Amino acid sequence: MATMLLPVAGVPEIMPGDDLAGILADAIDASRIGVKTDDVVVVCQKVVSKSEGRVVDLETVEPSKRARVFAESCDKDPRVVEVALRESSEILRMDNGHLITRTGPGWICANSGIDRSNQSRADRLSLLPADADASATVLRDTLCDRFGLRLAVVVTDTWGRPWRLGQLDFAIGCAGLDVLLDESGRTDRNGRALEHTQIAVADQLAAAAGLLMGKSEGVPAVIVRGAPYRPGDGHARDLIRPPADDLFK
């Protein structure tokens, strides 16, 4: 079976407290896409954060001296810098206009993953979910109950990558699948044993769905059908490289 990407359109503006799973299920029904056993429902972080109330009104933010100094050096909004600092657990780089932090369960990203795009107000921004794996589990449980099928859910965000230009979607929350496929011990087509091959399946699903979830597309979710993944109990946090093995920071 060929892998298919099916955009879930017709999702209204999500507000804090909204039943996101119910809204997505209604949109799936209305668009007549339907779901099948082992479909993966890929959902962008923005709507998850909004539904969970992970939004900040900048008019309520009083920037610190540190935020003001950095913002002035690179012509940024000091309130946005302040929110990024508050959301970080560790600051890895803070120079030349770049603010790279560690946040959440260990994500390393620019500006702590905060996002000002597609907000209902110009002075509002969204934060990463407090626990995107838990968010994915809630979505999956509700959708599985609604449709009576086994499904997987991946919550994504768009980040840059070390050593490469451009951004793509990564998995930051997962439920219902093994996020890594360990092929160590298998052989390639020429019979050579694979020694250190781990495939980040969840990230592959996120990147594929991201082709249809551009910031101007109005598509907050994509159903991936026929993808070769293993159902399981993995979490997106399992994808984080242990600090002792991190050679890039």
pLDDT averaged per 10 residues, the chain (length 249)? 91 94 96 93 96 95 96 93 95 91 89 82 89 98 97 96 90 97 63 68 97 83 95 95 74
Q: What is the pLDDT of residue 88?
A: 95
Q: What is the pLDDT of residue 241?
A: 86
User: What are the extents of the domains in the chain?
Assistant: 4-53+129-239, 56-125
- Establish whether domains 4-53+129-239 and 56-125 are of one fold: no
**Alpha-carbon span 32 to 30, nearest angstrom:** 5
DSSP string, 100-130: EEEETTTEEEEGGG-B-TT-SSTTEEE---T
What residues does 4 pair with on adjacent strands?
A: 225
User: Cα angle at 96 between 90 and 100, to 5 degrees?
Assistant: 25
**Alpha-carbon span 79 to 81, nearest angstrom:** 5
CATH number corresponding to 4-53+129-239: 3.30.1330.100
CATH number corresponding to 56-125: 3.90.1660.10
Q: What is the pLDDT of residue 96?
A: 87
Q: What is the pLDDT of residue 85?
A: 96
Q: What is the pLDDT of residue 111?
A: 93
Q: What is the pLDDT of residue 189?
A: 62
Q: What is the pLDDT of residue 163?
A: 84
Region class of 17: left (phi > 0), else alpha (psi between -120 and 50), else beta: left
Q: How many CA atoms lie within 13 A of 84 on its CB side?
A: 29
Q: What is the pLDDT of residue 186?
A: 61
Q: What is the pLDDT of residue 134?
A: 97
